[in-house]
Every structure is written in structure tokens, then in C-alpha cells.
Amino acid sequence: QVQLQESGPGLVKPSQTLSLTCKVSGGSVSSRGFYWTWIRQVPGKGLEWIGHIYYSGKTYYNPALESRVTMEVDTSQNQFSLKLNSVTAADTAVYYCAREFNFSGSGSYPDHWGQGTLVTVSS
């Protein structure tokens, strides 16, 4: 069973960079057919897809966040990461990492999720 676990600071100052890592167990980030994804949720609100990365390093970002987002994959450590720069209070959210299955026909969907980690942007 694939498991994902987010880690990183729970508090980030405005204008700084939010950095999170997602450790994968029970599966490999090098598996074909899967993307490795970040999604966030403002507490009590809706979900926002941030982007995903393939094992090759190819990235796909939400255009609304693209200018501030960097994702990387580390196959040797079986993990992937998210950096979001120039953060503001609007970036305060629960950040989830997930494995996203790319199926033939009609798209992709996250089938395994981490538990989520709350990141607060505040001075």
C-alpha cells in the first residue's frame, strides 16, 4: 500500500519561501504512469491543485501559481518536493501530497493522499 507523508515548517513568514517534502513508501516515485502531486486546501474551504511532477522531472503547474512554484523529484530518496516563493497570508492552507494516476482515456486522479500538513503564513 502506497503511503505518502508531508514534512516541513508549519510557519513561514510573509515574502519567504514555503518548502515541503513528501516521502513515499510502499511504492516508487520512478513508477511509470503516475504523477506526484501537490494540492492545498484553505481550512474550511475548497481545494486547489498546485501541480505535479513526473519521475523524469517533467512538471505541470497550475497557471495561477506557476510563477511562484517549483517542484522536484528525488528518485534516490523516493521523495518529491514543493517550493512556493513570495508567500502571503493567502497561501495559508493544508498542503497535501498525492500520487496521481494517469489513466488512458479521460485524464488523471489522485488515488493516494498524504494526511496533509498545515502551513501558516504569518510574521
Partner 1 sequence: DILMTQSPSSLSASVGDRVTITCRATRDIRMYLNWYQQKPGSGPKVLIYGASTLQSGVPSRFSGRGSATDFTLTISSVQPEDSATYFCQESYSDAHTFGQGTKLEIK
Asked if 69 contacts 51 with a C-beta cutoff of 8 angstroms, the reply is: yes
Identity of the residue, 16 or 113, whose beta carbon is nearer to partner 1 in the bound complex: 113
Residues 15-34 that bind partner 1 (CB under 8 A): none
- Binder to partner 1 among 36, 38, 80, 96 (CB under 8 A)? 96
How far is the C-alpha of 71 from the C-alpha of 91, rounded, in Å?
16
Q: Which is nearer to partner 1, 10 or 105 (CB)?
A: 105
Non-local (6+) Cβ contacts of 58 within 8 A are none
Q: Determine, following the binding rule CB under 8 A, whether residue 105 of this chain makes contact with partner 1.
A: yes
Contact letters (x/-) for partner 1, 49-78, by CB under 8 A? x----------xxxxx--------------
Rg, C-alpha atoms of the chain: 14
Joined together, the cell numbers standing for residue 60 give 505541470
| Cell triple for 91 | 497561501
Count residues binding partner 1 (CB under 8 A).
24
**Part in contact with partner 1 (CB under 8 A); list of ranges 22-30, 72-80, 84-92, 103-111:** 103-111
Tell me the torsion sign for CA atoms 41, 46, 47, 50.
negative
CB of 16 or CB of 21, closer to partner 1: 21
Residue with cell string 508531508: 6
Q: Which residues bind partner 1 (CB under 8 A)?
A: 46-49, 60-64, 96, 98, 101, 103, 105-111, 113-116
